[in-house]
Chains A and B, each alone.
Chain A
Amino acid sequence: MHRYTRRAVLGLVGAASVSALLAACGGGQATPTPAPQPSPTPPPVQQPSPTPTQAAAATPTVVATKPRKTMRVGFAISKSGPYAAGAGITIYPNYILWAKDVNDAGGIDLSDGVYTVELIEYDDQSSPEEAIKAIQRLVNQDKVDLLLPPWGTAMNLAVAPVFHEFGYPQLGVANLSDKTPELVKQWPGYFTFLGTSSQYSEAIADLLGDLVNQGKIGKKVALIYVDDAFGLELSQAARKKFGATGFELVYDQGYPLGTTDFQPILTDIKQRQPDAFVACSYPGDTLTLPEAAMVVDFNPPVFLTAVGTAFPVYIGKFGQNAEGVMGLGGIDPKSPGLMDYYKRHKQVTGQDPDRWGSPICYSSLQVLQQALQRVGKIDRQAIIREIATGSFQTIIGTVKLEGNIFYGNWLLGQWQNGEFLALWPKNRAAAAPLVPKPAWKK
């Protein structure tokens, strides 16, 4: 009797853990999830992967009511692993939102039919090899019509040759790099909407130079950077520009990725009394640095951290203490459509978008959609040409790429009264810089 009950208990536990495992796999692993589809779409009869020529030749149907079709849009994104945080904030929710927006509006009207969007997704587990495999699978097996890019510079570079080989446009957002201008020469379908790293570094030096000219700060800068491709690239360009514009670097050190203890660094920096503190940091560090600064009571006139400052979790964590902190990104709440986007994003995905890459990601999808409509059919080479040369209306304003790169972003912002307002470029600023930064409230 005793044996029997224990066996029963065991069986139950086994079943429970198996179901937990299945649930875990369901969430973590890739399962094709169809996007919400409002209209009763007929089963996919046709569409054996429309190669450009086929799509061009097909359908001379000039009827009043076009057939309803499904456009298969695939992507591999990091839902687990170290890139999951960035991907989950900036990229993934926008894919969901865009598909819903397109389908709610009735689909995309092309010459051979009205297309509703079906999303097919895989988890790349933050591994470039997995991402490449997933992209190959999406093209060869799932026969997707379009591909959307992954998150992160490294991931985008890893999949770029595959996108290029299959001839799909790659509208990268989180693929900030100074090497992009060279890369687009070999991959004509490779785009970036976030700009280049040095653009941001130069903006930092320009903004500080402007503050010096106004007599608001002196010329002593403390620079720290994360020892990682992005941190090195950003700090290198900043250092060069600081040197050229007569700033004095009183501190200039890197720190390893994953550092959680910034007290020794900030104690040292505080003694050197810089006018501006610039950290080329990643989200984890960005969210930790203010804490260490509060403890050692380090409150320079300019406190600038890089990636993550514009994240909703930042204002959630620091509240009033975020006031006056500067970072990459920024928005202008007065731009038409942008606040509506913020509201819809929260409603549809249940989370707030960030104040830097999120609206840019959504805009890149608008660009894709408009290019598609102008071309009138799923002709990927024509779409690439249209994206490279056309000009598009998006929630961040008019987008026109130069050499496959969009340079027109807001580069620097500052938390003011609970919103991350754009400060730079100066001619499109949403607010004047609040300098010196208010003291930390304890």
Chain B
Amino acid sequence: MASLLDALVTGIVYGGIYALLALGLTLQYGVARILNLAYGDFLIAAAVFATLLYQRYQLSPLISLVVLLPASFVVHLLVYHLVFVQLERRRGSWRAMEASSILLAFGLSFVVSGAMLAIFGGQLFSYSYLLVPIQLFGSVVPANRLLALILALAFGAFAYLLLVRTRIGTAIRAIAVDPDGAPLAGIDVRRWAGFTFAFGGLICAATGVLISMFQTFNVPMGVTFTLKALVVVIMGGVGNAVGALFAGLILGVTESFVARFISPGLTLAAVYGLFVLAVLTMRTGIFGRALR
């Protein structure tokens, strides 16, 4: 019984990083309508910055978090307006640009990871931060993972409240439903879709900094993060912040239980089995309907 509770608690805490990872992408993909395939590469960029700042200048990743989040917001805002808006302009409508935006994001991913490869090569980045064991309901979890969970919950709650409870949120959801029709209701599509895209980029940077605290990574790994995020996003329902949160936690708990009680070798199979099941049985994620 005690070990069941332990597996549950550590699973939830370790699932926090999946939730955080997916949260940014679900906003970009589901709300701003851009499947940002460069997501993992931007994440790696933030992780590399945090690592270098820590190793060269002993700057705490918590401080780089404060610096990198707004920076990433601005970078993503620029990317949105200078790249994706131009595409929309050329295509004439948001719906028409959706397919080509995927190709564009794919290219963007090569630009970002290629530039980083040219500078850093394939070297491994790794350091430890906030590796403090914390007692939680009788289990021990590292503080850095707990922080990831707290950030995921905070950003998730913020995104949910913003989208569902505010006037701006209503406008953003209108964009998500029909970007070409939204201007008829007086909604500035570029402004608010850009804001959502950039907010997703901010969460992406937060994930990168946190991952750098406990995971060994190198530049070519960006694409694996994009894929993982996509899996969680689809499970949670595209554009559904709360769904992404829960899907992330469910994955964490699944991995924890399978590794503990069945076999660590089957964690990957269990996760993807769950994913296939979710896609087959639930059309719009675990909550039955997308937020949009």
| Most chain A CB within a 10 A radius of its CB, from B3, B110, B121 | B121
What 5 pairs across the A-B complex have the smallest Cβ distances? Answer: A84-B122, A27-B118, A24-B114, A264-B259, A256-B268
Interface segment, one of A142-150, A290-298, A400-408: A290-298
What's the dominant secondary structure at chain B's contact region?
Answer: helix
**Residues B119 and A27 in contact, CB atoms below 8 Å apart:** yes
With a cutoff of 8 Å between Cβ atoms, the chain B residues found around residue A24 in the complex are 110-111, 113-115, 117-118
**Residues A89 and B123 in contact, CB atoms below 8 Å apart:** yes
Q: Which of A1-56 contact B (CB under 8 A)?
A: 9-10, 13, 17, 20-21, 23-28
Q: Who on chain B is nearest to A83 by CB? A: B122
**Residues A253 and B215 in contact, CB atoms below 8 Å apart:** no
Partner of A21, one of B14, B111, B117, B119: B111
**Residues B117 and A259 in contact, CB atoms below 8 Å apart:** no
Q: Which of B244-289 contact A (CB under 8 A)?
A: 252, 255-256, 259-260, 263-265, 267-268
Q: How far is the CA of A26 from the CA of B3 in the complex (A)?
A: 53
With a cutoff of 8 Å between Cβ atoms, the chain A residues found around residue B119 in the complex are 27
Q: A227 near B: Cβ within 8 Å? A: yes
With a cutoff of 8 Å between Cβ atoms, the chain A residues found around residue B263 in the complex are 253-254
Q: How far is the CA of A10 from the CA of B83 in the complex (A)?
A: 9
Q: How far is the CA of A227 from the CA of B265 in the complex (A)?
A: 7
**Residues A283 and B216 in contact, CB atoms below 8 Å apart:** yes
What are 8 A-B pairs at a CB distance below 8 A? A21-B110, A82-B221, A253-B263, A263-B141, A295-B141, A311-B124, A317-B126, A317-B127
Q: How far is the CA of A117 from the CA of B145 in the complex (A)?
A: 50
**Residues B86 and A10 in contact, CB atoms below 8 Å apart:** yes
Q: How far is the CA of A83 from the CA of B122 in the complex (A)?
A: 8
Q: How far is the CA of A414 from the CA of B33 in the complex (A)?
A: 52
**Residues B124 and A287 in contact, CB atoms below 8 Å apart:** yes
**Residues B121 and A261 in contact, CB atoms below 8 Å apart:** no
**Residues A265 and B128 in contact, CB atoms below 8 Å apart:** no
**Residues A268 and B260 in contact, CB atoms below 8 Å apart:** yes
With a cutoff of 8 Å between Cβ atoms, the chain B residues found around residue A283 in the complex are 124, 216
With a cutoff of 8 Å between Cβ atoms, the chain A residues found around residue B131 in the complex are 291, 294-295, 442
User: Whole-angstrom distance from the CB of B244 to the nearest CB of chain A?
Assistant: 19
**Residues B259 and A13 in contact, CB atoms below 8 Å apart:** no
With a cutoff of 8 Å between Cβ atoms, the chain B residues found around residue A318 in the complex are 128
What's the dominant secondary structure at chain A's contact region?
Answer: helix
With a cutoff of 8 Å between Cβ atoms, the chain A residues found around residue B110 in the complex are 21, 24
Q: How far is the CA of A288 from the CA of B86 in the complex (A)?
A: 43
Residues of B within 8 A of A (CB): 3, 6-7, 10-11, 14, 55, 82-83, 86, 110-111, 113-115, 117-119, 121-128, 131-133, 140-142, 214-216, 218-221, 224, 252, 255-256, 259-260, 263-265, 267-268
User: Whole-angstrom distance from the CB of A124 to the nearest CB of chain B?
Assistant: 12
With a cutoff of 8 Å between Cβ atoms, the chain A residues found around residue B224 in the complex are 258
Q: How far is the CA of A27 from the CA of B123 in the complex (A)?
A: 14
**Residues A20 and B220 in contact, CB atoms below 8 Å apart:** no
Q: A100 near B: Cβ within 8 Å? A: no
With a cutoff of 8 Å between Cβ atoms, the chain B residues found around residue A260 in the complex are 214-215
With a cutoff of 8 Å between Cβ atoms, the chain A residues found around residue B123 in the complex are 85, 88-89, 313, 351
**Residues A78 and B122 in contact, CB atoms below 8 Å apart:** yes
Q: How far is the CA of A78 from the CA of B14 in the complex (A)?
A: 32
Q: How far is the CA of A23 from the CA of B115 in the complex (A)?
A: 7
**Residues B215 and A288 in contact, CB atoms below 8 Å apart:** yes
Known: A13-B82, A81-B220. A88 touches B114 (CB 8 A): no
User: Whole-angstrom distance from the CB of A274 to the nearest CB of chain B?
Assistant: 16
Q: How far is the CA of A82 from the CA of B78 in the complex (A)?
A: 30
**Residues B111 and A17 in contact, CB atoms below 8 Å apart:** yes
Q: A284 near B: Cβ within 8 Å? A: yes
